[in-house]
Amino acid sequence: MDEEIKKTPKVMLTGDRPTGRLHIGHYVGSLRRRVELQNQGDFDEMYIMIADTQALTDNAGNPQKVRDNVIEVALDYLAAGIDPNKVTIFVQSRIPELFEFTCYFLDLVSYSRLIRNPTVKAELGMRKFGDSIPVGFMTYPISQAADILMFGTNVVPAGEDQEPMVEQTNEIARKFNSIYGNVFQEAQILLPNSEAAKRLPGTDGKAKMSKSLGNCIYLSDDAKTVEKQVLSMFTDPTHLQVSDPGHTEGNPVFTYLDAFAKDEHFPKFLPEYKNLEELKAHYRRGGLGDVVVKRFLVNVLNDTLEPMRQKRHELEQNIEGVYSILEEGTRKAQEKASSIAFKARRAMGINYFENKKLMEKQQKAYNRAHEQQKALEEYLAKSKKK
Ligand code: TRP
């Protein structure tokens, strides 16, 4: 037993739908954390999935969007510092075991449980499917359970919206284990560690960055675009004149600074202040204009994004090389998923072709039946002769 525990690797897995380039909300919400975890080296195995199959659940009619964004998301990962030697980056659709087990997991979840998922409910509200909700969309949390379980995942770094998915995953793991025996382990979500990172608002102050609202700053945006986006940002609507006291809470410019500003940015870009607390205090007192704060934010963001832009630019010279990274990662990921699938099929007793014991047992039963039949026939033949 102890031996078994020791041998179980510590596994991290997370993923993104390839429906667009990644923005700074993705970065502070999850991507930055993944790079930190990678560099801490606490995990034996780390997987990041480009969830193209999940992206298709609400983009079936637009496969080109999904296809084109697989490479964009891969470029963003690598540019942000994900090291493919430490993290296995892979493409969901190329791992058949995930869909095989999605099918079995579908049988372990009731319809009423399925439609209770609050994240799916919120998404339905935004998607406007009318009465044409794709079945695949409704069931994607079950497919996501396969994503998580088929890698022996312990930790899923993700945003709050993914909590219901991890819960559903663990319910499936428990149900499977109770019916078929202990195969899957439960996973834990690792939420962003600050309020600003949990929910970075759009530049317009709306709750979420979204491509359709045009309120995003992308990791690959150039310095000029970042400047334009920041200077047009929503701030505190009660801070009309520089001398007015301002609010930093709920003010997206300060939320962004919470997420991105480090003490060392101050001597570099705004030496009048020692740190963010001092800057906030001045804003609250009054006498500090929005433009000064915004200019500082432009510098902080561009300082953070510049190394990623350079890395991305390099990677963009070798798209084939980036696909090779995905191909190699997908091969590695499939190896892992297939070894867990092997155990799970064995537990379910559907490993027909490898199950020598079953064959022997069934053969014996037939041999016995044939022998009995023969004995009966012989007996009948004998009694006739008499
Ligand atoms: N649902 C996630 C998203 O919308 C993407 C995803 C797919 C995922 N499979 C996953 C996240 C497994 C964590 C673990 O971004």
* Count of all residues that appear for the chain in the document: 386
Q: What is the pLDDT of residue 297?
A: 98
Handedness of CA 50, 190, 144, 5 (dihedral sign): positive
144 lines ligand 1 (CB under 6 A): yes
54 lines ligand 1 (CB under 6 A): yes
89 lines ligand 1 (CB under 6 A): no
Q: What is the pLDDT of residue 213?
A: 87
User: 156 alpha carbon to ligand 1 midpoint, in Å?
Assistant: 9
d(CA 156, CA 171): 15
183 lines ligand 1 (CB under 6 A): no
Q: Which two tokens stand for residue 63?
A: 């496969």
Which atom of ligand 1 is least distant from the CA of 162?
A: 1
293 lines ligand 1 (CB under 6 A): no
- What are the residues whose beta carbons fall under 8 Å from the beta carbon of 8, sequence distance 6 or more? 152, 185
Pairing of strands 45-50, 88-91: parallel
168 lines ligand 1 (CB under 6 A): no
User: 40 alpha carbon to ligand 1 midpoint, in Å?
Assistant: 23
Which residue in this structure is represented by tokens 């799916």? 120
Which atom of ligand 1 is least distant from the CA of 51?
A: 7
d(CA 244, CA 134): 52
pLDDT, tens digit, 9 for 90 and up, residues 353-367: 999 999 999 999 999
Q: What is the pLDDT of residue 212?
A: 80
Question: Can you tell me whether residue 49 is helix, strand or coil?
Answer: strand
49 lines ligand 1 (CB under 6 A): yes
Q: What is the pLDDT of residue 3?
A: 54
Helix axes 319-348, 96-106, angle to 10 degrees: 40
d(CA 46, CA 154): 10
CB 148, CB 190: distance < 8 Å: no
CA distances, 90 to each of 18, 220, 252, 330 (Å): 12, 21, 34, 4
The alpha carbon torsion through 309, 310, 313, 317 (nearest 10 deg) reads -160
The helix, strand and coil proportions of the chain, stated in percent and rounded to the nearest 5, come to 60, 5, 30
- Where the chain has pLDDT below 70, the residues are 1-6
Q: What is the pLDDT of residue 6?
A: 59
Listed in order, strand segments (DSSP E) in 110-248 are 155-157, 188-190
User: 293 alpha carbon to ligand 1 midpoint, in Å?
Assistant: 35
CA distances, 281 to each of 144, 273, 286, 337 (Å): 44, 10, 9, 52
15 lines ligand 1 (CB under 6 A): yes
51 lines ligand 1 (CB under 6 A): yes
Q: What is the pLDDT of residue 198?
A: 86
Which residue in this structure is represented by tokens 């334009």? 228
Q: What is the pLDDT of residue 4?
A: 55
User: 239 alpha carbon to ligand 1 midpoint, in Å?
Assistant: 39
Question: Can you tell me whether residue 295 is helix, strand or coil?
Answer: helix
User: 16 alpha carbon to ligand 1 midpoint, in Å?
Assistant: 5
Q: Which two tokens stand for residue 342?
A: 């092997």
Q: What is the pLDDT of residue 8?
A: 85
